[in-house]
Chain A
Amino acid sequence: MAEQVIPTKKMPPGLQVENVDDRIMTLNVGPQHPGSGHMRIIVKIDGDYIVDADPDPGYVHRGEEKMAESRNYITNIPHLERPVIHDSCNILYPYILGVEDLVGIEVPERAKYVRVIAAELNRCIYIQYWLAIYGIFLGHSTMFMWPTGDRELLIDLMEKITGARVTHAYFIPGGVRNDVPANFEDVCLRQVNYFEKRIKEYADIFYDNPILKARTEDTGVLSREDAIRLGTTGSVLRASGVDYDLRIKEPYDVYDELDVHTNVLKEGDSYARSKIPWLDMLESCNIIRQALEKMPKSGSIRKKLKPNPKGRNDEVYHRVESGRGSAGCHIISREKPEPYRLKLSVSSFRNLIALPYLLKGEKLGNMPAVYWSLNYWPVEADR
């Protein structure tokens, strides 16, 4: 081993010089590498094998929680959906449920169904985008093109309902902002059915593809015990064999009236973690069809709210199942139009803690397959 510090050189007092091993090399993956998103993973490699990994998020911290303290309950809506613009309905859902609890307002039945439809459409839109990036991470360009194209079917539906392709600002305390357009049920059913037919084709080209299986099977195995111990949520937890879905365990709005199934795989490897969201999309299509059938054909869509609503002196915590896992919102209210404190509990940040455990002992080439299978969204984790 080479001597690190030149003996004749006089070092400043108190300076600790790390004795770096020649075998171990430290690499910075990110924050500008397209394969990492806006975050950095500091990996230490021995040859081709990762011996240590340290995820370093925080490059896109926007202070959403602090911003929320100076805005009232309504003007908080547009900026609180910015952490995940592709899944904006689901990230906003717990906040809206919390404000409804604080203000004490009942939601009309039809609005609850419309919310469920919008949330499930948004879940599919998010997962399609995530799947496209997973495909391009593994060098599968077709898997980038197909989900990005098929996602357009659902974006078109969301545009018809809310008037925006992303960042809808659609949910509001007391219901939703506008009713669905006329003839929406038929259009939605037709496009969702075609979408389901399309995503079933992904099995041939992606999930049953032996090249993908060779890349992802048995890489980054997270055992059932570790998944529970590390506190992971959503698709990561369900890929490790834990049957936990908030839509079933803690049903909100009208999920208890719908027939929802969870998808659970036992393997806990990258392949299982990449397959669970795809199975979730098929389940979402079922939920949308059920909701369209059971939805009251007419009725109120929004309860009128005072212009500047004040919450009662209390604190509430609500959580929902988003496209990545449980998304929670803790609001402390002090009888003012603004929240006293708002905390977003997001699944991306919780799932990230599994990354150092999963990467140890893997080859460096497997890093993208393991990292992106965690269903991680950097902007959401930084908030």
Chain B
Amino acid sequence: MGTATGIIKALNSGIKHLAVKRFTLRYPEQKLKFVGDGYQFDPASGVAIAGLKGRHMLFHDHCTGCQLCAIACEGVAEAIAMVKVPNTWDQNKKSIMPQIDYGKCVFCGLCVDACPFYALYMSNDYELSSFTKEGLIYTPAQLQVKPQVQQDSEIIIDKRGARHG
């Protein structure tokens, strides 16, 4: 193949893309759709359920303060600290619950795998940025809140190429 035909072929390949729809996700307006409600773990079967590994969800009515999540995190990120909470739950004799520092968390989900009481899951919330370091530390009360996440676009493939919509 000659030089001229090669360059024309390359240019032609680019020009064809004028008719193709834009693939880019326009992030703050569009947000990706995820499978499920986040990464969860079933201790009975020992297998997790697929989902996004985002911010944690803590179920106060299940947590017994056993510290297994904090022990699991020790070798990974040391992001989990056990803190005192008001003595409202019977199953939680020591009245301690995990507090998670998202400045350290690597979102591996090993703490979720360690929880034997269905108390700690991960949710679809991934927008965790904060202006201060203290804002990244989530207390048990904050972890209890179920996040409202906008999920409206996914990859669509048709004749005119792939796009987010």
Contact with A along B54-84 (1 / 0, CB 8 A): 0000000000000000001011110000000
With the chains together, A240 CA to B155 CA distance in Å? 39
A residues contacting the other copy or chain, number (CB 8 A): 42
Pick the contact of A75: B1, B38, B53, B110 (CB < 8 A).
Answer: B110
With CB as the reference atom, state the residue of chain A lying closest to B6. A210
With the chains together, A213 CA to B145 CA distance in Å? 57
From A159-167, A264-272, A313-321, A349-357, give the one contacting chain B.
A159-167
With the chains together, A152 CA to B84 CA distance in Å? 43
* B1 close to A302 (CB less than 8 A): no
With CB as the reference atom, state the residue of chain A lying closest to B25. A152
Return B34 CB to nearest CB of chain A, in Å. 7
Pick the contact of B113: A71, A153, A177 (CB < 8 A).
Answer: A177
Inter-chain contacts of A77 with B (CB < 8 A):
108, 110
Return B28 CB to nearest CB of chain A, in Å. 17
Contact with A along B2-22 (1 / 0, CB 8 A): 110011011011100000000
Q: Provided the pairs A72-B75, A191-B155 are in contact, do residues A164 and B53 lie with their beta carbons within 8 angstroms?
A: yes
Is A181 interfacial (CB 8 A cutoff)? Answer: yes
Is B51 interfacial (CB 8 A cutoff)? Answer: yes
From A18-26, A51-59, A200-208, give the one contacting chain B.
A200-208
Is A178 interfacial (CB 8 A cutoff)? Answer: yes
* B46 close to A191 (CB less than 8 A): no
Q: Provided the pairs A169-B110, A191-B155, A301-B47 are in contact, do residues A204 and B13 lie with their beta carbons within 8 angstroms?
A: yes
* A180 close to B50 (CB less than 8 A): yes
Is B89 interfacial (CB 8 A cutoff)? Answer: no
* B162 close to A153 (CB less than 8 A): yes
With the chains together, A268 CA to B75 CA distance in Å? 44
Inter-chain contacts of A75 with B (CB < 8 A):
72, 74-76, 110
* A204 close to B50 (CB less than 8 A): no
Q: In chain A, residues 134-179, which have Cβ atoms closer than 8 Å to a Cβ of chain B?
A: 142, 149, 152-153, 156, 159-164, 167, 169, 177-179
Q: Provided the pairs A204-B12, A210-B7 are in contact, do residues A302 and B109 lie with their beta carbons within 8 angstroms?
A: no
With the chains together, A39 CA to B157 CA distance in Å? 40
Is B143 interfacial (CB 8 A cutoff)? Answer: no
Is B24 interfacial (CB 8 A cutoff)? Answer: yes
With the chains together, A213 CA to B7 CA distance in Å? 11
Inter-chain contacts of B25 with A (CB < 8 A):
152
* A78 close to B155 (CB less than 8 A): no
Return A180 CB to nearest CB of chain B, in Å. 7
Inter-chain contacts of B155 with A (CB < 8 A):
152-153, 156, 191
Inter-chain contacts of B23 with A (CB < 8 A):
149, 152
Q: Provided the pairs A156-B155, A163-B51, A209-B10 are in contact, do residues A181 and B35 lie with their beta carbons within 8 angstroms?
A: yes
Is B49 interfacial (CB 8 A cutoff)? Answer: yes
* A169 close to B108 (CB less than 8 A): yes
With the chains together, A169 CA to B52 CA distance in Å? 13
* B50 close to A181 (CB less than 8 A): yes
Contact with B along A233-275 (1 / 0, CB 8 A): 0000000000000000000000000000000000000000000
Contact with B along A73-107 (1 / 0, CB 8 A): 01111110000000000000000000000000000
With the chains together, A301 CA to B14 CA distance in Å? 44
With the chains together, A191 CA to B158 CA distance in Å? 11
With CB as the reference atom, state the residue of chain A lying closest to B48. A178
Q: Provided the pairs A210-B3, A210-B7 are in contact, do residues A178 and B47 lie with their beta carbons within 8 angstroms?
A: yes
With the chains together, A76 CA to B72 CA distance in Å? 11
Is A229 interfacial (CB 8 A cutoff)? Answer: no
Contact with B along A201-238 (1 / 0, CB 8 A): 10011101111010000000000000000000000000
Return B90 CB to nearest CB of chain A, in Å. 26
Inter-chain contacts of A162 with B (CB < 8 A):
50, 53
Return B43 CB to nearest CB of chain A, in Å. 10
With the chains together, A149 CA to B22 CA distance in Å? 10
Inter-chain contacts of B3 with A (CB < 8 A):
210
Is A9 interfacial (CB 8 A cutoff)? Answer: no
With the chains together, A205 CA to B162 CA distance in Å? 19
Pick the contact of A302: B12, B47, B75 (CB < 8 A).
Answer: B47
* B10 close to A208 (CB less than 8 A): yes
Inter-chain contacts of A159 with B (CB < 8 A):
34, 52
Inter-chain contacts of B162 with A (CB < 8 A):
153, 194
- Additional 9 contacts, C-beta under 8 A, given A159-B34, A163-B52, A177-B109: A70-B75, A152-B23, A163-B39, A163-B53, A164-B53, A169-B109, A179-B49, A210-B6, A302-B46
- What are 14 A-B pairs at a CB distance below 8 A? A75-B110, A78-B76, A78-B110, A152-B23, A153-B155, A159-B34, A162-B50, A163-B122, A167-B106, A179-B47, A210-B3, A210-B7, A213-B6, A302-B47
The 9 closest A-B pairs by CB, nearest first: A75-B75, A178-B48, A204-B13, A210-B6, A163-B53, A71-B75, A78-B108, A181-B35, A169-B108
